[in-house]
Amino acid sequence: VVSDAGNWCLIESDPGVFTDLIHKFGVKGVQVEEIWSLDDDSFINLKPVHGLIFLFKWQQEEQPSGTVVQDNRLDKIFFAKQVDDKQCLCHTSNPINIAQLKACGPTAGIYTQQTLFEFDKQQPSEDDDVFHFVGYIPIEGRLYELDGLKDGPIDLGPIPPGTDWLTVVQPVIQRRIQKYSEGEIHFNLMAIVSDRKMVIERSITQLQREIEESEGDTSSQEEELARLRVTLETEETKRTRWQIENIRRKHNYLPLIVNMMKILAEEGKLLPIYHNAREKARARHEKSKE
């Protein structure tokens, strides 16, 4: 039992920090992106999605959504149990590889010999509580929920062959979002996706080296290089667009709505517009009755 919080790393619920953490584990080629809706559209740009991380401010008592795995599947699934109260952390001494990392969704922090991350050293106050994390991943044709506060991975049932696992996890997440929106619990949803940009950049560097070292004809390599540069540019444009979308989505639009109404009310226009709208609605209603 670890009592000294100094040995633990605290991390923020930010996709950039998560990505960094994953890279420091030595896992390459993946990154974490925040997602804002469960529409198929929002997943298209991200696919393939290796896992989802659902994080929320605090947890109410709830019925387990499936059965806790206790059989020999545990040999293949890496599951870390949360052992420290205040920091929402989990404890693991196992070496980490990609398969394990995929299963390590619910970890808010990882115990390591060297401290990888040291943010927020203060104890969270009552209003400023830390987040709890739950991971969702497909393992060998079944969907699992990994919650560090549970006794083991939770089996959420099979993923029918030929089906994208995202379609299976969607209703599960949807239910959670619904519940947490109603309870005003803050939550984020993040996806572990392939970092295509990094893969392309690496291929470019390698090709450049090959061209430099080669003494013969390099036209085919140069062609490939040009193609990769175009793909890289597309990825970069995509990322810039992402940043803009994130700014747009993180914004609070309530002041805009309320102030627009306030101006209309002050100008004596709110009620006339409202009555007009009601007339229109009534006319529409009459029309649909006919």
Partner 1 sequence: METIVYSGVTLEIPSEICQDISLLFEIISPDTWNNHLTDEHREMLMGFLPEFPHNDLEEKTRTLEMFFMDENFRYGTPLRIFHEQLCKGFFNPEISKMRAIHKKIMYREYRYRQKQYFHHTLEEVLVRRKRVLDIVSN
The answer to whether 121 and 10 have CB atoms below 8 angstroms apart is: yes
- Quote the least distance from Cβ 263 to partner 1, whole Å: 5
Stretch that binds partner 1, among 25-33, 199-207, 214-222, 265-273 (CB under 8 A): 265-273
Stretch that binds partner 1, among 17-25, 48-56, 221-229, 254-262 (CB under 8 A): 254-262
Residue type, position 61, single letter: E
Name the residue with tokens 């699992």. 144
Q: Is 49 helix (H, G, I), strand (E, B) or coil?
A: strand
* Alpha-carbon gap, residue 91 to 113, rounded angstroms: 12
Catalytic site includes residue 132: yes
Q: Closer to partner 1 at the Cβ: 253 or 290? A: 253
Nearest by Cα to 192 from 33, 45, 20: 33
Residue 255 contacts partner 1 per CB under 8 A: yes
Q: Closer to partner 1 at the Cβ: 68 or 270? A: 270
Catalytic site includes residue 9: no
Structure tokens at 278: 């009601």
Nearest by Cα to 132 from 118, 149, 157: 149
Residues in contact with partner 1, shown as a per-residue x/- string from 189 to 208 under the rule CB under 8 A? --------------------
Structure tokens at 97: 């590889």
* Alpha-carbon gap, residue 249 to 22, rounded angstroms: 25
Which residues are known to be catalytic?
88, 132
Chain positions contacting partner 1, by CB under 8 A = 1, 36-39, 58-61, 81, 83, 85, 126, 129, 149, 177, 181, 183-184, 244, 247-251, 253-265, 267, 269-270, 273-274, 276-278, 280-281, 284
